[in-house]
Amino acid sequence: MKSLAALSLMLFLGISFSHAQKAKLVRMDPPNWWTNMQHDKVQILFYGSQLGGATVTTSHPSVKILKVNAVENPNYLFVEVEIAPNSKPGTVSFNLQTKGSNLKADWKLLARSGQKPGGFSPADFVYLLMPDRFSNGDPSNDVVKNMKETELNRNEMYKRHGGDLQGIINKLDYLRDLGVTAIWPCPIITNDQPATSYHGYAITDYYNVDPRYGTIAKYRELCDRAHQKGMKIIMDYVHNHCGSENYFFKDLPMKDWVNQHTSFTRSNYRPSALVDRNASERDKFLCSDGWFDHHMPDLNQRNPYLANYLIQNNIWWVETAGIDGYRFDTYPYPDQDFLSRLNAALLKEYPTLSIVGEVWEHTTPTTAWFHTKNKVRTDGKDSNLPSLTDFPWLFSLIDGLNEEFGWKTGLNRLYFTLSQDDLYHDANQNLIFLDNHDLSRIYSELKEDLPKFKMAITALMTMRGTPQLYYGTEILMKNFAKPDGLVREDFPGGWKGDPLDKFSPAGRSEKENEAFNHLRTLAQWRKNRPSLYNGKTVCFIGENDALVYFRIQGKEANMMVLHTGKKKQTLDLSRFSEILSQFKGGKEILSGKTIQQLKTMELEPVSSYVIELQP
């Protein structure tokens, strides 16, 4: 690949050769806006050829042109407009006058739907899926002409497999039955790359749904149908980088639209460098300005035009599709001041919108640094980020279930992680999970030990935070992320003609149904237990191969026991009398057994228990 500096030089030389061309308009971003928005000053990007010297006017009575900004590349104009509070829906006609051309551009002002984002919270159960690998509901869009990748091959892990939005719609009842209340698909925005863009994280058109998934109308249908069934939709979005085939990278508006280097320079993927007061400037620079990959140019959000572009695009998708929340990919790598402004703008426009940032870090202090109003940051700034992905929780759980129990090992690792919760503004807002599209499957991490897997599910569904499940975890899909394509396999039964349909109990093995039912029981039960998602946590230091913790709200309480010992043992409950003294018995949710006394408890080898305490 040519260096970015060389590519930029070629682009600008090409522009100089085309100076005499007639002006042409190709697109406007955003393609429309709405009346009565908080964000009523809008930057419109006009793109085509030879627009740089244009005079822009409009006769619309309630849309005022504030400023016309010509930039380094004459193929772009950035026009700032203000929409009056009394504006009515309709068409805004712009006239672009150049020396040799008079162009007319129509821009739509729409009426707002009035729908408010539902947000997501610890009361929800989030299901993460890869649209290309979950279910193929519309084979007619498997291959789309004129796109750069036109091969469908389910036998190749990095080719397109055909899953789409209709496939998700078709499985909404399956997800609702499992207990899911919020769905997070990996990015559905256009990724028109020559290869390996099935995952969705190399965006080439921020204002369109990838045609192989469907249309904007189909995405809106998914949101509406999910809402009708009591479920929410979370949009996955990337600010850090775009795909190398994105029009605004191939024809840069300005040299500093992306972070440029004399040769390919990869990020060090080390968020700790941004937090560490002893970090070198080089490490900080590589984290924030290095490229994610060769085909993923690093966007420079310090450029005010790009910053406005991305902020408006986020607002546009909320209003267009009716989504309930965002998951922001690679959160530590973009400019942090930009992200703070973005979060503030979104929450000003949509106070009920939820936002979770992906912070892939091993330690709680570094992770907490990115949280709003945290106890770690000392620079006086606020990220305005209400929720984080809790990787430290995950890593301590995996180690805790695989290690021998000890003073600071085994399940006590989980205890020590929870003991640092005060570093966050509110740890209960964290997203907790067992695996995802970048990580090895939890069933494989636990050496395909079903009792340990069930213990992990128990922890996920009963500890503080919002639980998130990766598609297929409920049916014991396995593999290590070496390479990552191995943990992105198709969900069996999502394609017509699949030999097994694991969306149905009849298509699953006995073990798979045992895992599925364990999760379903807890997911459906927790919906009606506010103490599990709003209550306080009381966690006792682990002893004798067991970790015991409680979730309490008012007179409602639950007792959870995770036991990694390889032998049966009798657990003396007198140690927990500060809580248990208020209760006489309970019901064990997983077995359905009645607990008639709270003095001792028999623990089976490698087992977990969830007790609904009763006065």
CATH classification number, 536-614, choose in 3.90.1170.50, 2.160.20.10, 3.30.930.10, 2.60.40.1180: 2.60.40.1180
Candidate list 132, 245, 324, 329, residue with the active-site label: 329
Tell me which residue has tokens 């006609």. 93
Per-residue model confidence (pLDDT) at position 7: 45
pLDDT in tens, 440-462: 999 999 999 999 999 999 999 99
Residues whose CB is less than 8 angstroms from the CB of residue 573 and which lie 6 or more positions away in sequence, other chains included? 580, 598, 599, 600, 601
Q: Measured between alpha carbons, how far is residue 195 from residues 146, 162, 199, 202 in Å?
A: 14, 14, 11, 10
pLDDT in tens, 103-136: 999 999 999 999 999 999 999 999 999 999 999 9
Phi/psi of residue 87, nearest 5 degrees: -60, 150
Q: At what angle do helices 336-349 and 304-321 cross, to 10 degrees?
A: 30
pLDDT in tens, 205-237: 999 999 999 999 999 999 999 999 999 999 999
pLDDT in tens, 14-39: 333 334 468 999 999 999 999 999 99
- What confidence category does residue 553 fall into, taking pLDDT thresholds of 50, 70 and 90? very high
Extents of the domains making up the chain: 4-110, 536-614
- Model confidence at 2: pLDDT above 60: no
Query: Can you tell me the distance from the alpha carbon of 38 to that of 27, in angstroms, rounded to the nearest whole number?
Result: 25
Query: Is 358 among the residues known to form the active site?
Result: yes
Query: In terms of Cα–Cα distance, which of 379, 376, 378, 380 is closest to 392?
Result: 376
pLDDT in tens, 401-432: 999 999 999 999 999 999 999 999 999 999 99
pLDDT in tens, 156-209: 999 999 999 999 999 999 999 999 999 999 999 999 999 999 999 999 999 999
Query: Can you tell me the distance from the alpha carbon of 82 to that of 92, in angstroms, rounded to the nearest whole number?
Result: 12
Q: Please give the CATH topology (third level) of the domain spanning 4-110.
A: Immunoglobulin-like (2.60.40)
Question: Mind spelling out the 3-state secondary structure of 456-482?
Answer: HHHHHHHCCCEEEEECCHHHCCCCCCC
Indicate the pTM of the whole model.
Answer: 0.95
Per-residue model confidence (pLDDT) at position 17: 34
Q: Across residues 48-75, what is the average pLDDT?
A: 96
- Model confidence at 328: pLDDT above 60: yes
pLDDT in tens, 483-526: 999 999 999 999 999 999 999 999 999 999 999 999 999 999 99
Query: Is 329 among the residues known to form the active site?
Result: yes
Candidate list 138, 205, 335, 358, residue with the active-site label: 358
Per-residue model confidence (pLDDT) at position 4: 46
Q: 423, 364 in Cβ contact below 8 A? A: yes
For 171, counting Cβ atoms within 10 Å of its Cβ (0-12 exposed, 13-18 middle, 19+ buried), the class is buried
For 219, counting Cβ atoms within 10 Å of its Cβ (0-12 exposed, 13-18 middle, 19+ buried), the class is buried
